[in-house]
């Protein structure tokens, strides 16, 4: 398959997906968002952490700069998880195949970006991930209050990630300049080339720093954007 053929295939796939879209409002998108388990699991954890944080009190300056650092680091965390976990290539260790659930589900997500349940973090992952966040918050910080601040911010970032990722793949059309940039960034990853544009909640942040934010006009369409690791 020539580069021209791949480009035409990418355009055809994009047009086919666009043809399935209908115009919906933000309210309709939000109502559909809450039909999925991941937002509820994160929201319940967030509510518990935020309530406990308010009860404990003991506010200090570190409760201000810790969230600021977490927000600044989050695009890089997204990038690392996307590259190293979601795009994990199955490996064989003797008779054992190492292929995490998140990686398998993400490959399915690339096959059909419009399959909404595949947009979300699987509930099976939350079974161990959310308790891990709670354990870190309770035992890895010098103060209970600071640990609860950490858990609250993780909940906010997690919910923001799920909402942004879901909205990009929903039928909601971008209206603001900021969201349009984020929307375009992620769609380039799915429809142009899966080796670039790894951040989801921002555009041109970690990707720019880590060298995965090229001029899209100079990037060839990838024949494996829908079938990861098929090369």
Q: What is the pLDDT of residues 201-219, one digit of tens each?
A: 999 899 999 999 999 999 9
Q: Identify whether 208 is part of a domain.
A: yes
**Mean pLDDT, range 25-40, rounded to an integer:** 96
Q: Identify whether 44 is part of a domain.
A: yes
Q: Identify whether 146 is part of a domain.
A: yes
User: How many domains does one find in the chain?
Assistant: 1
Q: Which domain holds residue 191?
A: 3-218
Q: Identify whether 8 is part of a domain.
A: yes
- 230 pLDDT tier (thresholds 50, 70, 90): confident
Task: Give 16's contacts (C-beta < 8 A, 6+ positions apart).
Answer: none
Q: Identify whether 224 is part of a domain.
A: no
- 3 pLDDT tier (thresholds 50, 70, 90): very low
Q: Identify whether 231 is part of a domain.
A: no
Q: Identify whether 229 is part of a domain.
A: no
């Amino acid at each position: 398959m020539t580069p021209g053929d791949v480009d035409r295939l990418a355009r055809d796939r994009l047009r086919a997906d666009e043809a399935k879209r209908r115009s919906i409002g933000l309210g309709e998108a939000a109502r559909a968002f809450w039909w999925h388990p991941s937002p509820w699991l994160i929201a319940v954890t967030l509510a518990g952490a935020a309530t406990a944080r308010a009860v404990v009190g003991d506010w200090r300056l570190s409760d201000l700069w810790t969230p600021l650092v977490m927000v600044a680091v989050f695009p890089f965390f997204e990038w690392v998880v996307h590259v190293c976990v979601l795009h994990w290539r199955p490996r064989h260790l003797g008779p054992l195949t190492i292929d995490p659930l998140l990686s398998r589900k993400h490959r399915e997500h690339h096959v059909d970006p419009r399959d909404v349940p595949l947009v979300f973090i699987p509930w099976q992952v939350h079974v161990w991930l959310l308790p891990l966040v709670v354990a870190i918050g309770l035992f890895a910080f010098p103060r209970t209050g600071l640990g609860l601040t950490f858990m609250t911010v993780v909940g906010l970032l997690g919910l923001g990630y799920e909402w942004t990722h879901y909205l990009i793949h929903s039928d909601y059309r971008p209206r603001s300049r900021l969201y349009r940039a984020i929307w375009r960034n992620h769609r380039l990853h799915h429809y142009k080339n899966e080796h670039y544009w790894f951040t989801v909640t921002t555009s041109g942040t970690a990707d720019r720093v880590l060298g995965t934010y090229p001029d899209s006009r100079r990037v060839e369409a990838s024949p494996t954007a829908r079938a990861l690791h098929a090369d």
